[in-house]
Structure 1
């Protein structure tokens, strides 16, 4: 006999899981939500990922040249911690106040298709559930090179580094590495970014890449491509990074090294086999387009299912599963169209839909509208706030006048890209965006001028 028998068991406090638990509980069904760490109530986003890192990005961007780097960083981290503590408490209260929801601290392990044992120290609790949702997320991937240093950090631990490193080496040129490179450079660190690839930001258009690279280098970030890191070891007062760069082996010294080489699922200890749940070669849980696993009553939502690793995707995962549990069961991942993303540099870089390379091979008659932010006369907001870096670029199907994709590298990019994505989903034409009435001064009104400059895609 189970110690607890519930309608729905949710393992992990991620965005999708916690939202689903609240919705199911408010319907009057019984729910158990298991989380192994009290410091992760609310999920990764509010505790170690989206919210705290963007809070630090904002604090870094506000630092003036005359502000002491260490003091500013210390205050920024304190502000970050106060924010996450507040959000964590609020998230816990939102579910704790629902009578049908039981919150449980401990580590979950499947013992059968419908059964999970939760361990907390010497305590054991058995849970039987009709439906189970796995929402345990991912953690930073470990480096593939030798590490013999106490000065190596990941994207979570470096948020509390002390003191602020005067010299920081970042291994990994992906979007996480870029955000931390820009952030720590703004805090006052000398940053060197090592990218294993030979092409910087390979998924972005070259004009966008040039603009991003120029911004980073202007802020003091040194970017080294084709760097194959072999090891990190400690010397007397620093870390030494050994890397093969081209035909030579170089040693770089740093006060700290951030390894940002992706994320991995934390599925190893769940004993998924006991439930008949399959994982892929990387450990991500295999799901269908309704987010059902090989065991049809078990779902996987959020990063752990191998989909795009964004909080808003986890939220949409929740909608899909809720439709399976309480609706018509028609909603699926195939419904997702024009999903945007943003890299929180200063200013942010956001994109949705096709890039230029994809547009060229699409077989469509494409026109492109692009302008540097500093040259957009109808968009004074960047000049008002003193941030004129970047560009705005929109790709359009000349035959249908529909937007195929867009890149917004500008202040307020994270907002403007949402508008363009909505236009793509709803079939709003480029001409309608161009001729619409937008508030002034705003960043949206750049669309009036940029889209008026559309030209055939050549070259």
Structure 2
């Protein structure tokens, strides 16, 4: 769930994941006022972490004439480029190709007589794509004027000084863009068995005979469907009563049906998950109310959440306050408890996606250089789960609308009544739109279906601005056949939101 592309330097413009952006001429920084030790190197700003937000912010500072150090302990590009969206979506694409070949008869095509998945080739393709993206980001950084890329582990020794190896670097301002890593809350037995993370599973050279995925949310479900399509038996073990607990019940149920139709086994209500060796594999204690109490797999993927990379930076010596989960506590302008230290991306707990990290950069750059007063609180929730079909969401869920107590309208349409889905032979899922009954503003949009991640974004600007849904229904003529052409149709058939039937 972390989208980006490789980035390259083209005439001073960041080009790649995001549309080309040309910056206005920024103002120069104010004079430095910190005391400098003779043994320290001094910068106007230091960016710690070269993920999604860091390089773009460094370029903006470079254009302002600032002297900048970008410190990266491992590989530039961050989670998205190295272990997140780029490599996972490359493998999702390979899995989709395998599914199309296997299911070719549904489109009137005879599948090849010899069919198989070459996992080493899939991994090599993923590595080529991810590696090129990483090289592009590094080349971009190294080509910036006034910017030095420093490889090593940064640690604060006081609020204005970090060490990186033998070097001491000082600055007026610091920007943390250190990302996160997999977490394993409450999973017993991890020290007794081999287990996979979202990174290590993408290095496998042989298909698991039976992959057990512990965690039925976004990361876990993408890998579960992926490896099922590659040919592994797959069981998903979810602690709660349903998958993707953040979503509405109808979304979770529809997604479960899609996955089970492809042959995945879903075990929900697993309140006591424990791992233990079992022959040449792993036994996963499930303890559900129904079904076998244990699942025996050849491999186990732990996909139970992520934690920020803030525990070994010496942030206590800088006076930076963390919350109970280790996120840097920031205000609406992304400043930490220390006014000259900002936190962007996954480490601030204000968004766990590549696109929210990019927006953190936009907010920070606009406030620093454009005289703006932007805040993260203005951001509309947007994200996608890249199962196939994808689940795309903007704004409030139905559950959140009900909890708000406001009068609302709802419109739905199954994908079986969307021409584009019918023609592509992929009719699973539905569209659901929610509108404020008084203001007529669109409160939320959900599309679980083919091309939904693209189609739903045609509503984003209207939702973000709070404009009435009638601007969508009275707008221009949309292209047929597409999924997005049905969004005005759904809005034209709005009905009062009925009483809840599901307490969750």
TM-score bucket (shorter structure): over 0.9
Distance 1:359 1:247 in 2: 33
* Residues 1:109 and 1:156: Cα distance change in structure 2 (over 3 Å): same
Distance 1:148 1:295 in 2: 38
In structure 2, the partner of 1:91 is 137
Establish whether residue 445 from structure 1 lines up as the match of residue 485 from structure 2. Answer: yes
The 10-residue stretch of structure 1 (40-49 or 360-369) with the greater mean CA deviation from structure 2: 360-369
In structure 2, the partner of 1:454 is 494
SS at match of 2:240: coil
Establish whether residue 116 from structure 1 lines up as the match of residue 189 from structure 2. Answer: no
Distance 1:182 1:249 in 2: 22
Residue from 87, 93, 107 that aligns with 1:52 = 87
* Residues 1:331 and 1:364: Cα distance change in structure 2 (over 3 Å): same
Shift of 1:290: 1.3
Residue correspondence of structure 1 range 421-440 to structure 2 within 5 A? 421-436=460-475, 437-440=477-480
Distance 1:151 1:70 in 2: 27
Establish whether residue 339 from structure 1 lines up as the match of residue 385 from structure 2. Answer: no
Establish whether residue 241 from structure 1 lines up as the match of residue 284 from structure 2. Answer: yes
* Residues 1:312 and 1:157: Cα distance change in structure 2 (over 3 Å): same
Shift of 1:70: 6.2
Distance 1:91 1:203 in 2: 33
* Residues 1:83 and 1:149: Cα distance change in structure 2 (over 3 Å): farther
* Contact 1:141/1:264, CA 8 A, preserved across alignment: yes
* Contact 1:138/1:263, CA 8 A, preserved across alignment: yes
In structure 1, the partner of 2:441 is 402
SS at match of 1:132: strand
SS at match of 2:472: helix
Establish whether residue 416 from structure 1 lines up as the match of residue 470 from structure 2. Answer: no
* Residues 1:248 and 1:446: Cα distance change in structure 2 (over 3 Å): closer
In structure 2, the partner of 1:159 is 202
Distance 1:402 1:413 in 2: 21
Q: Which has the higher strand share?
A: 1
Task: Tell me the C-alpha RMSD between the 2 structures.
Answer: 1.9
Distance 1:311 1:183 in 2: 21
Shift of 1:351: 1.1
* Contact 1:2/1:127, CA 8 A, preserved across alignment: no
* Residues 1:171 and 1:28: Cα distance change in structure 2 (over 3 Å): same
In structure 2, the partner of 1:294 is 337
In structure 2, the partner of 1:30 is 67
Shift of 1:76: 1.8
* Contact 2:119/2:205, CA 8 A, preserved across alignment: no
Shift of 1:231: 2.6
SS at match of 1:71: coil
- Structure 2 gaps of 5+ residues are 1-37, 103-110, 500-504
* Contact 2:40/2:168, CA 8 A, preserved across alignment: yes
- Size of the aligned set, in residue pairs, is 449
**TM-score of the superposed pair, with normalisation by structure 1:** 0.93
Distance 2:169 2:82 in 1: 27
Deviations 1:127-157 (A, max 9, x none): 0111111111100003531124554101111
Structure 1 segments (4+ residues) deviating >4 Å: 66-70
Shift of 1:257: 0.4
In structure 2, the partner of 1:106 is 152
Distance 2:118 2:271 in 1: 34
Shift of 1:370: 0.3
Shift of 1:357: 2.2
Establish whether residue 188 from structure 1 lines up as the match of residue 231 from structure 2. Answer: yes
Deviations 1:53-84 (A, max 9, x none): 11111110111226778633332211110001
Shift of 1:27: 2.0
Distance 1:449 1:230 in 2: 45
